[in-house]
Copies of this chain bind each other. A is one copy, B any other.
């Protein structure tokens, strides 16, 4: 079992807290942090010991991280256990998470809003008002989706470049 340095502990604990604030299980986040900081793939056993959590907890959490696509199992010669390692590319990791949270949360919300607009009975009291409000929210989510798709289509650096250019809005508009 790898003993953690102070800095590593600090990072892992902070990451765990961050996770809980964004709806991600603390252990899941901590395991990710540990693997991210690890220079070699770790077997479940070792993860459990290092973080002082149950082996079964690690199993579930790893599976969660695997479905996100940011952790994968690798094999080490002469060891039949699975060893787990984290993706190294930070941008790519966040891109994956954002894309999937969009699919799991944004998309169903748009769906709900669309359905609401359909189901709205114009005879209900205040229907017109309700429609306006829901349509405004739907418009926002549509725009976010559009934004997401456009960003996805661009190479990472380009987005930043474009925004930097945006500071000179007048010029850009003139193009």
Contact string against B for A residues 85-121, beta-carbon threshold 8 Å, 1 for contact and 0 otherwise = 0001011001000000000010001001101100111
* Contact across chains for A112 and B14 when beta carbons are under 8 A apart: yes
Q: Within 8 Å CB of A119, what residues of B? A: 6-7, 10
Stretch at the interface among A63-71, A72-80, A156-164: A156-164
Q: Contacts A169-B154, A169-B155 known; A116 to B7 CB distance under 8 Å?
A: yes
Chain A, 119-175, CB within 8 A of any chain B CB:
119-121, 124, 126, 129-130, 133-134, 136-137, 139-140, 143, 146-147, 150-151, 153-155, 158-167, 169, 172-173, 175
Asked if A20 CB lies within 8 Å of chain B CBs, one says yes
- The CA of A139 and the CA of B156, in the complex, are separated in Å by 13
A: number of interface residues (CB 8 Å): 60
Q: Within 8 Å CB of A129, what residues of B? A: 39
Q: Contacts A7-B120, A22-B22, A160-B147 known; A37 to B91 CB distance under 8 Å?
A: no
Residue in B91, B160, B172 whose CB lies within 8 Å of A165: B172
Interface residues of A (CB under 8 A from B): 5-8, 10-11, 14, 18, 20-23, 36-37, 39, 88, 90-91, 94, 105, 109, 112-113, 115-116, 119-121, 124, 126, 129-130, 133-134, 136-137, 139-140, 143, 146-147, 150-151, 153-155, 158-167, 169, 172-173, 175
